[in-house]
Amino acid sequence: MTNLQPADNLPKSPPSPDFWMPKSASVTTEHVDWIWDFMVWTSAVSAILILGAMIYFCFKYQAKSRIANELAEKSTDHNTTLEVVWSVIPLFVVIALFVWGFQGFVQLRTPPANSFEIRATGQKWKWLFEYPEGVVDDVLHVPVDRPVRIVINSTDVLHSLFIPNFRVKMDAVPGRFTDLWFNATETGEFPIFCTEYCGTSHSDMLSRVVVHPAGGYEKWIEKALLPDPSIPPAKRGEILAQKQGCLTCHSVDGTPKLAPTWKGLYGKSEGTSAGSVTVDENYLRESILDPQAKIVSGFGPSMPPYSKLKDHQIADLIAYIKSLK
């Protein structure tokens, strides 16, 4: 197993001042947190009152003797005032909960018109975020104090994008777009989870949202747009392979996972669904852009096309694969 997620790359939740909830870091938490607190405390108080009454009545109406137990006692059959009170008070409580909950729902489902839009794609087992400038990254980068709308889809099965610190969560559904929005109020890093069971590596489908201070997002995007000349191509390819999630299915140590290993792949002869091929630059390029064209025998058609990759990125990936002798 390759070291896909070194410990320092795992999402860490910043300490929360709140006993129940992760630290609040977006305007979208406003309608969630206090209603949740209200429900917890209302339920706790009700539970104590009901249990208390039950225990009290156990003693109050305990039979004095076996005989007394068998003789029915005369009692009134109901108390209208009491019944009206215990029906009407909870009725107002649930009506209030509905109104507050609905206000929160409307806020959560209505991204402001001037939202900054980022695409998110769920795939087995990786989140990819695509920025308007054309950069694709496995980490969500957003500016602080700006409404951000995430347009979500999936290339394979159901996933669900969950950012606990923003109290937002939305399914990623193959064949349709869903969305969520937030407006981060705190800079820093917050964890992202997949909360829809999506197969073997569901629990590894982790990422982070980085909330940049004013001007920080622009700086990041500028850097992300360029291939870094200080890093050799094979190393750039390795970083890209990790970011794009290639190494979830392709090993680099010779063990076959869901897909052929990359170790010793370059130059090898492979039997494929379209006959035998020698793995060269063009076969690798085709397999990245159109993975179903020639599937190596013994493997399923599980790879999504990586048509968003730029030529210089594909060249870096090939350089990396070549280096794995």
Tokens encoding 134: 């054309």
**Cβ 201 to ligand CUA, closest distance in Å?**
8
**Cβ 196 to ligand CUA, closest distance in Å?**
5
Q: Single out the residue of 257, 284, 264, 255 nearest to residue 272, CA to CA.
A: 284
**Cβ 113 to ligand CUA, closest distance in Å?**
30
The total number of residues shown for the chain amounts to 325
**Cβ 217 to ligand CUA, closest distance in Å?**
26
Report the distance separating Cα 35 and Cα 46, nearest Å: 16
For residue 316, what are the contacts with CB-CB under 8 A and spacing of at least 6? 227, 233, 234, 236, 237, 240
**Cβ 243 to ligand CUA, closest distance in Å?**
17
For residue 40, what are the contacts with CB-CB under 8 A and spacing of at least 6? 20
Footprint of ligand CUA (CB under 6 A): 122, 125, 159, 194, 196-198, 202, 205
Nearer to ligand CUA, 136 or 194 (CB): 194
Burial zone of 8 (CB within 10 Å; 0-12 exposed, 13-18 middle, 19+ buried): exposed
Nearer to ligand CUA, 248 or 251 (CB): 248
Nearer to ligand CUA, 192 or 318 (CB): 192
Nearer to ligand CUA, 10 or 214 (CB): 10
Nearer to ligand CUA, 108 or 192 (CB): 192
CA angle 198, 204, 205 (to 5 degrees): 60
